[in-house]
Amino acid sequence: MKLPTLLSTLLLSLFISACSTLSSSDDSGDTRFYSLSSLPPVTASNTKLRIGIGPVEIPRLLNRPQIVSRKNSNEIKMAEKHQWGGSYKEEIIQSLTDNLSALLKTDSVEQYPWKFSFKPSYQVRINIERFDGEIGKNIILKARWRLLKNNKEILVKQALINTNANGKNYVSYIKAQSKALEIFSRQIANKIKNLQ
């Protein structure tokens, strides 16, 4: 084999090897999936309290696989490479359910629609009007919620929660959303505690 041909073959194999190493170690081209977090579970001590969560409504704009953020007050960004692991609406409802269960120390928290045999002490209906923000800046959660007892509305409240996203990435963005849901859950739980 002649020297130029040998050199070309060697350079080509080195180039292919370098490309395969880069593609295997760099996952920036892959889609990443996320989930909201909630408060850790606690031992249930309030066995008589039953909470029904829902219906929960969210804007159609947010109910999609892609994580939605804002570029500015008028422009929306949908991240094709950063998506929810499941349904965004179900993520929100599950986080609220887990949070209220922990805060109120009860295992009897059911999501709407619940079984006919389940009779909630209180039902929380939620209409989320806004739940987004700018990456690296903040998250805004704006919601109206109603508290019902024996199918009668006893309280109507509005929540406006602003949490900082401490980092310029989607992990920080999702953590800020989880924190906003925790604050919102605490507001609801405190009102229920005051009524007992």
At 93, which CATH number? Answer: 3.40.50.10610
Identify whether 89 is part of a domain.
yes
Please tell me the distance from the alpha carbon of residue 196 to that of residue 193, in angstroms, as a whole number.
Answer: 5
How do residues 86-118 score in pLDDT, each as one tens digit?
Answer: 999 999 999 999 999 999 999 999 999 999 999
Banded pLDDT at 196 (limits 50, 70, 90): confident
Q: Above 70 in pLDDT, residue 53?
A: yes
Domain that holds residue 56: 46-195
In angstroms, what CA-CA distances link 66 with 27, 45, 56, 63, 108? 18, 39, 20, 9, 32
Would residue 132 count as lying in a domain?
Answer: yes
* Number of domains comprising the chain: 1
Nearest-angstrom CA–CA distance, 88 and 127 = 14
In a domain, residue 142? The reply is: yes
User: Going by C-beta distance under 8 Å and a sequence separation of 6 or more, which residues neighbour residue 81?
Assistant: 29, 30, 31, 32
